Structure 1
């Protein structure tokens, strides 16, 4: 019997779990990644130093290798190329048109507005617009406002403004993280529920079969838009949970999403209306699938691989007791990495540590998910224990630079 092949788009440290899962399943693994230092290249059967966003190059590779599935695991930029290539080759995929809507913020905003979802006032503009013209276009917007790229993730390039001070700088910041150079400005949504709701859901046959909504941690060092962790249970009440889940399923149905893991970012306003910040057509970053696998007693990484091959995944959910969270290790200055000190008080609750850096590596100030130093996973017996960590995390976990 011929060995089945899977094409994986992206070989970063966070994507290694998908590569290793595919290998354990006995699949022949083909990888595309243009970064010469990606660790995935050393673990696959065949490697191509090719950008995951180069549709034509990926298509030729997939066709020549005669792959049976394509997976862009935990990658926003690669999600649409994966869908386009899979469609061309008649492989398992979600509609590329739907993936495009989910993957680009202004298209998603247009979709939400057209279909009656809660949506803030917004304006989409090109990066070469004259500043004064843009100010005229948004003169009726109420502050605070958010300026961001339409094609980035992990809160990269995002700025919140309470007035016009720093307006031009915010635009420049967004441009620096944009590939398509299309930006968006939108009114800030005042939250009713205190936290942003993040996490992942998993879809099979058009139905959400796993709801993994969690509360997001944001840092308190003036960069409060960057996620630094997720915690479960989320703290939502029954009514809020039902509203979130109903709206999630409504989007999945409207866009004809067939299968796969999707990353969510949601705000509940003061009337508990569900506002979608993002619904990414791929597994969440910061190893969210591992955390949800632990919480539900399943293997979501394997489920992503299996689903990409057109096979129904085994998702026999058995929610585990206690509280699960992950915490993104980071620092706020450039320097040279030495170590990370964990307080003895918190060590018993840490059950997995993944450190990206070694002693002597250079590190950068944390202004986006790509500059994380690692991730730790914690399991608490009570919500009170988890909340205590969240309130004292800077005392309990210390990054030491040389």
Structure 2
């Protein structure tokens, strides 16, 4: 295969796997990121201290380097930039406006409503509309969610159960919004677990999807995922509804290729609701867990699709066995000492990456940016997996000094 030049948007630890794959294929690798010490830069041929959200600067860089493909792996903020550059340069990608619709919560909720998808009562407001937003929100049934329209990794999201905390929640969401906009919506009474996982589009068709139960830790922040357990325990007929509705959405948006990251729920009436549909791969080692569970390498397909290579070999493949990602996290602020692992946790761990060392300051887990490490785990049964993930603090514990 002829050597290609690929521009990767982001070089953080979670974004290293596709860069490494491209290196193995002999491609010329360019990375850009506003953090010069990120590890992906170390395995790139060239790197640039450029924000992945500065679309025009990234476009000029892409033009000057005559790139053959662009990848925004596991990054919501960078996904519109990748689509914008690909569209301007005639490279493989998805329509910019469609990607932006998926990435922005306000645009996505509006799109869902206009196209008769199930959607919670929801409305977005700018930073100058705080009092108008409060009046509107006061008429909603608690609890409600207050979210930045454009953040990722659950940063800035608050579940408001007591309306006296509304102002604090609105300001918190604004702090994490680049657009300085907030979306407020009623909570969906869900059936069973929230669903996570990744999928992949080939020639406009949802060719592959692998879904998991999303898990949270109520000891710190019950809104930020601490692990995904594969496969999901939802009934197959409900999963087929999710697949059909996803394909309808992709058709309406004209999405052509590439990875998808899912977050959805079923209501207590078995109604399907999108929470998010990210136009990119999931973080939390989701693609890596999926490869263990199914043998399907979504990292490979992501890079290949960005270069316009044939991805038609991708087929539906069920998960084999019981697998989970796990985000190592602290339940309080402090100074990191060590990680306690029970004997059974040690037996289950297949891979682990720990990002902190003794003496580092750590914060209570309130967003994906507070993750201290990531693990991939394999379990002997679904019951063992569900029992452990629901109370993982018994088996994996961050010890502070």
User: Under TM normalisation by the shorter chain, which class is it?
Assistant: over 0.9
Q: Matches of 2:226 and 2:117 in 1, distance apart?
A: 28
Corresponding residue SS for 2:14: helix
Judged with a 3 Å threshold, the aligned counterparts in structure 2 of structure 1 residues 273 and 380 are, in CA distance, closer, same or farther, namely: same
Q: Matches of 1:187 and 1:372 in 2, distance apart?
A: 28
Name the counterpart of 1:15. Answer: 15
Name the counterpart of 2:232. Answer: 234
Name the counterpart of 1:269. Answer: 267
1:127 Cα deviation from its structure 2 partner: 1.4
Name the counterpart of 2:216. Answer: 218
Q: Could you report, residue by residue, the CA deviation over 1:132-188 in whole angstroms, capped at 9, with x for unpaired residues? A: x22322343211111010001211111111231211100111011111101010011
TM-score for the superposition, normalised by structure 1: 0.96
Name the counterpart of 2:328. Answer: 329
1:376 aligns with 2:367: no
Kept in 2, the 8 Å contact 1:298–1:317? The answer is no
Name the counterpart of 1:288. Answer: 286
Name the counterpart of 1:59. Answer: 59
Corresponding residue SS for 2:120: coil
Q: Could you report, residue by residue, the CA deviation over 1:280-338 in whole angstroms, capped at 9, with x for unpaired residues? A: 11101112111111111021111111111111235356545311111110002232222
Kept in 1, the 8 Å contact 2:227–2:389? The answer is no
Q: Matches of 2:227 and 2:276 in 1, distance apart?
A: 17
Equivalent residue pairs, number: 400
Judged with a 3 Å threshold, the aligned counterparts in structure 2 of structure 1 residues 2 and 289 are, in CA distance, closer, same or farther, namely: closer
Name the counterpart of 1:155. Answer: 154
Q: Matches of 2:196 and 2:151 in 1, distance apart?
A: 16
Name the counterpart of 1:115. Answer: 115
Judged with a 3 Å threshold, the aligned counterparts in structure 2 of structure 1 residues 243 and 8 are, in CA distance, closer, same or farther, namely: same
Name the counterpart of 1:32. Answer: 32
Alignment of 1:1-400 (within 5 A): 3-131=3-131, 133-191=132-190, 193-221=191-219, 223-313=221-311, 314-315=313-314, 319=318, 321-400=320-399
Judged with a 3 Å threshold, the aligned counterparts in structure 2 of structure 1 residues 224 and 250 are, in CA distance, closer, same or farther, namely: same
Judged with a 3 Å threshold, the aligned counterparts in structure 2 of structure 1 residues 81 and 360 are, in CA distance, closer, same or farther, namely: same
Q: Matches of 2:129 and 2:391 in 1, distance apart?
A: 44
Q: Could you report, residue by residue, the CA deviation over 1:244-296 in whole angstroms, capped at 9, with x for unpaired residues? A: 11111111111111111111110111111111110011101112111111111
Q: Matches of 1:310 and 1:246 in 2, distance apart?
A: 26
Q: Matches of 1:124 and 1:86 in 2, distance apart?
A: 29
Gaps of at least 5 residues in structure 1 are none
Corresponding residue SS for 1:128: helix
CA RMSD of aligned residues (A): 1.4
Q: Matches of 2:319 and 2:130 in 1, distance apart?
A: 54
Kept in 2, the 8 Å contact 1:195–1:215? The answer is yes
Corresponding residue SS for 2:146: strand
Judged with a 3 Å threshold, the aligned counterparts in structure 2 of structure 1 residues 347 and 355 are, in CA distance, closer, same or farther, namely: same
